[in-house]
Structure formats: C-alpha cells, structure tokens
A and B are shown apart, each in its own frame.
Chain A
Amino acid sequence: MILADLAGLLEKQFPDADIPESFLGLSMGSFPDWDSLGHISLLLSIEEHYGIRFSLEEMESLSNMQNIASALKSHGVGS
C-alpha cells in the first residue's frame, strides 16, 4: 500500500517522468526534473499525504525512495 502511494506521489510531483515499476532504487537526480527543489516538494507532499513531519536531519538523509520508504515505517506508516 505504501509503495502504491509513493508511486502515485512520485508521478504527481514529476508528471513528465517515466516512473518504473520498481522505483525504490530511484533517487534525487534519477531524472532531470528530480532536482533539489523538486525533491523538497516531493518530501513535503509525502508528509502531507501521511500526516507526518520529518525532522531536518531526516530530510538530509532521505535522498532516495528506499530511505523514504524506511522512514515512513519508522513513523508508523503502514503498521
């Protein structure tokens, strides 16, 4: 469920990108639109969607989808 949500949020933030089915290997810079400012917008949209808030220190480490998925679990999402 989390993966489906994340895929949708990725597609919404980067509508021009081709998001592969196995997207957990993607990270900031994987496609041109995914720059630092786009990344911030993605993280904020994830926060809004799940009603959570990452710390600034967490944000610095959340540069790829695998880390983001792990961070969501640590925030109790999907449990």
Chain B
Amino acid sequence: MARNDQSRHKTFSPPHGRVRVAFSQVITHQRVFRPEDQQRFMVISGDNNPVHLDPVRARRFLFGKTVVHGVHLLMWALDSLFSTRKDNYRISAVRASFRRPVFPGDQVTIEYPSNSEESVRLVITSVGEVKANVQVEFYRMHGVSDQTYSPHPEAPTPYEPRALTDDDLPGLEGTLALHLPKIEYRRLFPNLARSVEPLQASALLSISRLVGVECPGLNSILYEIDLADEASQMRSDMNYRVAAFDERTQRVSLDIVSPFLSGSVIAFVRPEPVSQADCAELSVLVEDDEFSDQNALIVGASRGLGEVTAKLLAMGGAAVTGTFNVGKDDADQVAEEINSAGGRIRFVHLDVTQSDFLESFANEGDLDLTHLYYFCSPKIPLNQTGKFSTETLEDLFQFYVSHFIELTNVLVESRLSRAFYPSTIFLDETPLGMGEYSVAKSAGEAACAILEKIYPKLRIYRPRLPPTNTDQTASILPARRDDPSTLMLKHLREFASL
C-alpha cells in the first residue's frame, strides 16, 4: 500500500462529549486485492459467496469473473483513513454505494475529494472508473469502550449461500450473530482494529455475510449501505428485514438493526447463469443428416453460442470436437447430453492464451477437421469510462484476431476448408461502451478476408450477430434478445451452403 501525504484539519466538540474529526482531502492509498485477500476476508466475514472465491463458477455469473467483496473495499478504505489515528472512534454514519465491480488483480485507488468539516468523502477508483463512493463521519471517544456486549470472538461458521427466490424474499426477516475473530481482524484491518468500536466493525462484516450468504444470498449484488450510529439495541447480533422487494428489477431493500449501526442496505438479485435449449428441443429443428459431412471443431463449446452450435451440429449428424478452457464441468454436462441424445461429441482442453496451446492441442491426435467454429471469448467488457482503452483492445485482439489466425494457420494444413467467425452487429451500431470489442471484431473480419486470400480453398463465414440470450448478455433488467437456437440454426444452414 502506498500512501502519499496525509494531514488533519481542525477538530471541534459536538454534543455528548465526543470529538468530531474532519480529515483533509490529500490522502491517497493504493492497493491490489489478491485471491488470498479474498480468502482472508471470507474467514472473518463469513461471506463465502462463490462470486468472490470460485473463478470457475464466477465466470458464469453477471461479471464473468470473481469480484472483491464490497464491504472489503469499504473496510480497507476506512482502515486506510485511520492509518495514523491512535484514539478510539465511533462511526456516526457511513454511506457507501458500490457502482462497478473490482476484480482481483486490479490496482485500486482511494481518492479524497473535497470534504466538509463534518464528514469525509472517499472515492474508490480503478482503471479510470469510479468503483465506489463512501461518505463517513466519525466521533472521537474519550476513554475505552465500556460496552457490556461484544462480538463473538470466533470466526462465523461458513454455510452454503442461500438461493432465495421471488417468493422467499418479501417480508423475510432474521438474525445474524456478530463475530469478530480478533487475530484475523487485526491482520487484515490493523488500523480499524486499533481505533474503531468492535461492534461497529463486526456489523460491517456481518452485512457482507448477510447479503452474500443469507439474504439475498447466492445471487446477490451489494449496491448500497446507509447506516447510522443508533444505539437501538444492545446485543451481539444483527436483525434484518426485507423492507421492499421489487420483482421486476430484483431490487431488495433491507432494514438493518445492530448495536451502534442501523439503517438500510440495498442489494440486487442477479440473474442465474443462462441455460441453453436441450438436445430434445433442438433435435426436432434439424434434419438427422443435414450436417453429417462436417468434422467440426467448436472452440468454446461448453456454454453460450458454442454450446448451442455443438448441439445443433451434433443433432444434425456432424462429428463434433468441442473445446473448453476452465469450464470442465459444463463441458462434461454438454457432452453427456449430446452423446445420450445420439449425437457425437468429445471435448478437449484448449487455452488459446497459452503460447503452447497449439502444441497441446495437436497432442490430442489427428482431428482431421473440416469446419472450424470460433466462439472463443473472454467476458466482453462494457467500458463506461468514456475513454478508449488500448489495453482492453490488445487483450481482445489476442482472442478475436491473433489466436484465430494461429489456429486457422495450423488447421488448413490438414482438411479445414470452412470457418465460422462470429462478428458483431455492434460494427454497424458502434455503441460507445463497446468500442474496444467492436474494433477487435472489425480487425477479425479483416483477418478473415486476408486468410481467404492466403488460402484460396478456405471460405470464412462471418455474420454480424446481434446480442443473444447468453451469459455474456445477462443483465439485471430483462432485455429482449434473440433466441440463440433460432439465430444459430439460420446461420449454420447458410454456412453449410457455402
């Protein structure tokens, strides 16, 4: 963590004998959250939601990869704020809104814009984006806290996050015990541990567990925390109640009551991973042998458009080799379904980002492939910074251009004569937030044209596809999107007729 300069402005005495402290704006902290940090925060908070810890499961959730706990960000910001404080403090109010996900490995910065005498505003940013806004007020306490109640000193016992439904949420209420395992807490947040009322710290930790594990649980997104020091109950637990649930937008408003911090928490229920049509549904759409002349390689066949393509081709009589990168379980399920339905598919592992991927791929044997379908893609980023990111473009260029060319170069040495390159309708619409994606796909189209000239027997079909209903396009507000099965069958038939 790097800290540049720090200073404090004047203090004054508010009622009740507490000293309100104002901090100036010239403090900046930076850090990177690592997966091991996620694990440590999980231990003290009890928030073991896989969106924070399990890269394989998280890749199918809304953000496409693991994200840092929102409360972890908040408590790191508060810990940084107290890094030079030696007195005891009480948080009188804290409001945090979590705007965009922070990913492990991202460099995160706390900035301190203008502050009034009475409160501190922190802005947490990363890669040019505002990730969270925090407004916090403190009182300096005279003497040592003399609370009768204190958090449970052991770590909370982890349990499987609940997957609550629309029927479960309205009016739901419950109680969470407040925990604060001191050794682990001090290790993670030494300045908070030294300075801030333990019941307040344990309440913040419990909010992470509440949202991520208890309510809404598994499919949650923490959006906003708005709490104030209201000594409404002197116990070692937190009561919660769903004050409002909007089934259209999946927005959950929770009322929270705990010692010294009560108020509201806003969360959203994120959509479930998208399930594609099964082989029974798709087999009635295709003729038994309409794709039987194809020995097809589908890169990225374990989910999404690749999964749909694999099922349609296999039900149409093609011999299919599918690839997966990290989603082996998903690939196994797709293979089981297709083979049980009478189709032919086998899966091989392929990570196109590894320099030796072609060598490992070749070791799988002579695939004698005739058709290539290239659905390989990272989570497509939506850029809301208002600036074009050349770094993002370079990452996408590798996926959509370089690795496609490398793979094609190898496969044309055997029998490959047809390739399916999914381009995007965004090249026609050029939406602002999809600039890097659009440019990379545009380069991919150009690469297709060049490859056809280099290899005269090769034909590359490159339709500009609209967004369809897959994990890539999942959103909180339902949006009308094309059905992947109908769309892909149309294009597979056009491709087959080349």
Contacts and interface: CB of A to CB of B under 8 A. Distances in A.
Contacts of B130: 32-33
Interface string B233-253: 000000000000010110100
B162 interface: no
B246 A36 contact: no
Interface stretch (A18-26, A38-46, A65-73): A38-46
Given A36-B475, A37-B476, A59-B477, A29 B221 contact: no
B388 to A, nearest CB: 16
Contact of A37 (B268, B384, B479): B268
Given A44-B251, A59-B248, A37 B221 contact: yes
Contacts, number: 47
Contacts of B480: 60
Contact of A44 (B246, B475, B479): B246
Interface residues of A, number: 15
B325 to A, nearest CB: 28
B118 to A, nearest CB: 15
A32 B384 contact: yes
Nearest to B133: A16
Nearest to A32: B130
Given A35-B99, A44-B246, A60 B384 contact: no
Contact of A32 (B99, B433, B479): B99
A1 interface: no
Interface residues of B, number: 24
B82 interface: no
12 contacts: A29-B384, A32-B384, A33-B99, A33-B130, A33-B133, A37-B268, A40-B249, A40-B477, A41-B223, A43-B249, A44-B246, A59-B477
A76 B99 CA distance: 33
Nearest to B385: A32
Q: Which of B97, B100, B121, B480 has the most CB of A within 10 A?
A: B97
B102 to A, nearest CB: 14
Interface of A: 16, 29, 32-33, 35-38, 40-41, 43-44, 56, 59-60
B247 to A, nearest CB: 10
Closest 4 CB pairs of A and B: A40-B249, A32-B130, A56-B248, A37-B223
A17 B18 CA distance: 32
B479 A40 contact: no
